[in-house]
Amino acid sequence: MRNYAIGDALARFMRMRGYNVLHPMGWDAFGLPAEQYAIKQNVHPRVTTEQNIANFRRQIQMLGLSYDWEREIDTTDPAYYRWTQWIFLQLFNSYFDLVDKKAKPIAHLIHELQNENLVVGPDGSVHLNPTQEGLEAIFGDMRIERLWRELDEAEQRAVIDGQRLAYMDDAAVNWCPGLGTVLANEEVIDGKSEVGGFPVVKQPMRQWVLRISAYADRLADDLAELNWPESLKDMQRNWIGKSVGAEVDFDIDPASIPPAGAGEDDGLTVTVYTTRPDTLYGATYMVLSPEHELVLRITSPGNRAAVEAYRAAVATRSERDRLAETKDKSGVFTGAYAINPVNDEKIPVWIADYVLMGYGTGAIMAVPAHDQRDFDFATKFKLPIKAVVMPDDGWLKSTMSGKWKTLEPRIASEEMVMSVADLNDVVREKVEEWSAEEQDRMAGLAQSGDGHLLNEMRRAYRNHPEAFGAAFAGEGIAINSLAINDLATAEAKERMAHVLAAEGTGRKAVKYKLRDWIFSRQRYWGEPFPIILDASGNPLAVPEAELPVTLPEMADFRPTGTMDPPLSKAKDWINVTVDGKPAVRETNTMPQWAGSCWYYLRFIDPSNPNRFVDAEKEKYWMPVDLYVGGAEHAVLHLLYARFWHKVLFDLGHVSSPEPFQRLVNQGTILGEPEYTVFETAEKRAVSAADVEMVYEAASDVAEAKMKSSGETVFPRRVDEADVERMKDGWVLKADPGIRVDSRSYKMSKSRGNVVNPDQVVGEYGADTFRLYEMYMGPLEAQKPWNTRDIVGMSRFLSGVYRNLVGDEEAGKTATITDGQIPDDLDRQMHRTIKKVGEDIESLRFNTAIAELIKLNNEIGRMGAEVPRALAETFALLLAPLAPHLAEEIWNRLGHGESLARAAWPKFDAAKLVETTLELPVQVNGKLRGTVSVPADAGEEQVLEAAVLVGSVKPWLEGKTLAKRIYVPKKLVSFVVK
RNA sequence: GCAGGAGUGGCGGAAUUGGCAGACGCGCAGGACUUAGGAUCCUGUACCGCAAGGUGUAGGGGUUCGACUCCCCUCUCCUGCACCA
């Protein structure tokens, strides 16, 4: 509710300033939350959706929000989703041109293929025709690409369908049995569904997918120009996850793998992706993801059983279990060896679940000395660790110092002895014989930066990086790396890229974490796809003229319990005829986010039957000047909407490359603060200082345990009256030794701390409610609700009413005069006009309200008569924040017209100037008094007056005046000795 | 673990080119009006101290005539990401 109050206040303010304001409201009502609710209520989602919209609309109107209801839209209305489907067809009918880096119509792609500017690769990918590039001489004989005319119809079709921005794919998807649908990566948090928290498993399935990854670069780069919170931009950049590195080809040693079978190739190559090609010489083993396609082919007979068992174990483990075990590495050796292209070293090939199939190439070169994960793995499986980057001195010192300090002499590792042997010139003792004091002494020595010892440490690192107990992942100077020795990391990367390119064994590569957007949902309550599948399962677009494809009415809309969508039961709806041949409709529906990807455009022109938005109107209003929304949409709605918008922009349907110019996050409102005491099973209270929350692996369940004993303790809520504040925390009044936990929790039904706006508005009125929400503090911050505080705003408003209208209970009417505003009050009024205007503009509503309260208090002090000019100005200033009361005052002042369109008051800069200044006077930085001087007094005049101030004088007597400082119109400061 | 944000009275918060810390609201205390007050008005309210004065913006150090504000270290809380090679 808070964001609505904010948006409305700003909208009203801007209208009074003379702007055209588009301030609409709409309902994004398709999708899982709405459908889950309907299933729970056992009512058709259409019905529950309408009920919820009606209730929401009632609450919003109750608050007096100045929405333009003629622009109201509903994403579940066929007149709306007709255009959602239309935009889907735009995606379906376009592809991403890699040269121009933008979407273009698919017809253009076909044209380019027919003209043989483009050719088709063996995997169906599309490339520039090398013969057009004058490379025929080189590639002519061994051309692996094919020309368009060399493909049969089915192949042509597959190539085109594979290039669309909306395409069908068989990839492994996030199947959520609890919801009976597939989810997008963005909808899965910690291996569970964002909606409902159900487990999610990976499952191959044929799905509609949107090629958002093609836009990864532009989605990341264009963030720079947007006026959004940095944290939100970071979240999007992080999600897009761009990384620059290199791909390196490792040949598999043919002698180490089973001989090739029929139709199999002997010369196998595994390509790995790395961001640190400069560490290639330090690769001591290779790891493939367990799902990697070559795993079974390269596994030797002796290792087969172990490999298969491991693969099976990984496959059955849920995403969540896998995440829970990031500390403890697991994996098995395949028996195969790969050949490092830079030094022809043979390194063992392992499989391990810490390498994910979904990122990079699903295979890594492990450099244990310079990657902590590889280091952990190598340590566990006793694989070699080779240093190829020399760390900075600080790292060497603190790592070695830390290592020595925490050493337990009896179980000191072999490596440690070796490293000490290396440092022998300095350290003669054996590690085993060190006492605790000696450990401390050695740790201090390591930290001291002794030049000789430092040299020894460098030597030790070069030969025994494992002895330092941790990987060095930072940048440094390349060592033990023939081609790039002595180069700093950045240069070493460059140099290595050249070496690899020259050898043909590697190339620069850019990778993204962002995956394509899985767009099908096996649910009922969503937009049907405007797609028909022919007898071979090929997708055909429903002609634009036939849109919308309406959602069939179904009594049983529940998930089927299988992977078949509910729509598969609507037989009449499914079966259609195309060109006299039978075909079926796509039975998946679009996800929750589809409708909200473009609603801001429809608001501009909500009932246009001919276009999704009129082009002229779109140009006039877009982009959105201010978007007030929560950060929870950072990688969902806000990323998806930007993606759709960019596609529409590329295809020339909208005029701006970004939809939302300025965006602010409003903080959520938490429940009332709660106090919690922890007790043992025997109801003995323990201090919260001794309690920590322990999160069980693979679950969200937190248990409170005592730090000292490990005993489980239980929280119990205590009343505010039973606690008091001590110096460093809240304690029980009855037993001040017991600290209690004090915090506010998210509002939730289960916790029972939800505030019902209806009740608050019923008791205090809409204006008070709005004011309270805005007065709580900066809008970005999360704030606890505190019912006790509301009365302050209520008192303020009744004070305003008493001052400007009268006290009806006491039978007094305020007297409005035509007289002059007294000087003091006039100055205060102009100051308030200035401050309120500036504050609202920069969305600081809390301080704007504080300023109005001050002015009202002054008016109250003045007495019974209020000059009309002052009363009118006050009503206008109050109007954006508390519109109902402001309107009534305006009306009582004799205005027939609403003040919603009245002009915002202007302040007179001349009135702000003070004639006398009260300046603070400091002596040696301490405040000793104030001096009153005329505003136009010169420096010397002010300083002379300041010296004579009664409270200042004693501090100057008998001292030497060393310095006199006058900061104009701010303060006076004397330095004495 | 990594990244970002924050830490100011009993509570929500104000003050940022470095210049009177605690605006404004709540709460609390005292008083006025009142049959009554959970209405309204007035006064007070960071802490120690009778006072003079001293101390105070998470803790420690630094720069400065002067630091909530700038620099270094530490702690706590929030938010996001998390085996991303």
Kindly state the DSSP code that residue A142 receives in the 8-state scheme.
Answer: T
Longest dimension (CA), chain A: 111
Structural contact between residues A554 and A99, judged by C-beta atoms closer than 8 angstroms = no
Residue A694 CB in 7 A reach of strand B: no
pLDDT for position A411: 41
Residue A699 has pLDDT above 60, yes or no: no
In A 499-558, which Cβ lie closer than 7 Å to strand B? 511, 513
pLDDT for position A970: 85
Kindly state the DSSP code that residue A10 receives in the 8-state scheme.
Answer: H
Q: Tell me the CA–C1' distance in angstroms for A762 and B32.
A: 32
* More confident of the two residues A424 and A828: A828
Which nucleotide lies closest to A667 by the C1' atom and the CA atom?
B79
**For residue A39, what are the CA distances in angstroms to A77, A179, A333, A568, A744?**
20, 11, 49, 18, 32
Whole-number Å distance between alpha carbons of A534 and A117: 30
Least confident among A694-698, A803-807, A886-890: A694-698
Residue A734 has pLDDT above 60, yes or no: yes
pLDDT for position A39: 87
Q: Which ranges constitute the DSSP H helices of A63-99?
A: 78-92
Residue A840 has pLDDT above 90, yes or no: yes
Which nucleotide lies closest to A776 by the C1' atom and the CA atom?
B12
Q: List, in order, residues 6 or more apart from A235 with CB less than 8 Å away.
A: A631, A634, A635
Report the Cα A190 to chain-centroid distance in Å. 15
Of A690, A678, A686, the closest CA to residue A717 belongs to A678
A922: β partners: A927, A973
Residue A598 CB in 7 A reach of strand B: no
A335 dihedral zone (left: phi>0; alpha: psi -120 to 50; beta): left
pLDDT for position A816: 86
pLDDT for position A641: 95
Least confident among A347-356, A404-413, A578-587, A911-920: A404-413
Which tokens is A942 given? 């002010």
Which nucleotide lies closest to A326 by the C1' atom and the CA atom?
B83
Residue A956 main-chain phi, psi, to 5 deg: -100, -25
Q: What is the rounded average pLDDT of the residues A388-397?
A: 84
pLDDT in tens, A893-942: 999 899 988 999 999 888 888 778 888 888 888 888 888 888 888 888 88
pLDDT band at residue A143 under the 50/70/90 scheme: low
In A 59-78, which Cβ lie closer than 7 Å to strand B? none
| pLDDT > 70 fraction of chain A, expressed in percent and rounded | 91
A94: β partners: A105
Which tokens is A287 given? 């790891």
Residue A422 has pLDDT above 60, yes or no: no
pLDDT for position A902: 93
pLDDT for position A434: 62
Helices (H) and strands (E) in chain A, counts: 31, 47
Residue A242 CB in 7 A reach of strand B: no
Which tokens is A201 given? 């498993």
In A 928-957, which Cβ lie closer than 7 Å to strand B? 930, 951
DSSP notation for A311-345: HHHHHHS-HHHHHHTSSS---EEEEEEEE-TTT--
Residue A460 has pLDDT above 90, yes or no: no
Which tokens is A330 given? 């697991």
Residue A801 CB in 7 A reach of strand B: no
Name the residue with tokens 């009135």. Answer: A911
Q: What is the rounded average pLDDT of the residues A489-513?
A: 90
Of A856, A968, A977, the closest CA to residue A923 belongs to A977
Residue A27 has pLDDT above 90, yes or no: yes
Which nucleotide lies closest to A276 by the C1' atom and the CA atom?
B85
Least confident among A38-52, A424-438, A570-584: A424-438
Residue A423 has pLDDT above 50, yes or no: yes
Sign of the C-alpha dihedral computed for residues A626, A632, A637 and A641 taken in this order: positive
Q: What is the rounded average pLDDT of the residues A688-692?
A: 81
pLDDT band at residue A653 under the 50/70/90 scheme: very high
pLDDT in tens, A155-172: 899 999 999 999 998 877
Least confident among A54-58, A542-546, A560-564, A698-702: A698-702
pLDDT band at residue A412 under the 50/70/90 scheme: very low
pLDDT band at residue A320 under the 50/70/90 scheme: low
In A 275-304, which Cβ lie closer than 7 Å to strand B? 275-276, 289
Q: Tell me the CA–C1' distance in angstroms for A846 and B69.
A: 21
Whole-number Å distance between alpha carbons of A824 and A943: 27
Q: Tell me the CA–C1' distance in angstroms for A43 and B41.
A: 57
Q: What is the rounded average pLDDT of the residues A555-560?
A: 85
pLDDT in tens, A742-792: 888 888 887 888 888 888 999 999 999 999 999 999 988 889 999 989 999
Kindly state the DSSP code that residue A536 receives in the 8-state scheme.
Answer: T
Q: What is the rounded average pLDDT of the residues A441-445?
A: 67
**For residue A826, what are the CA distances in angstroms to A856, A860, A866?**
13, 14, 12
A365: β partners: A286
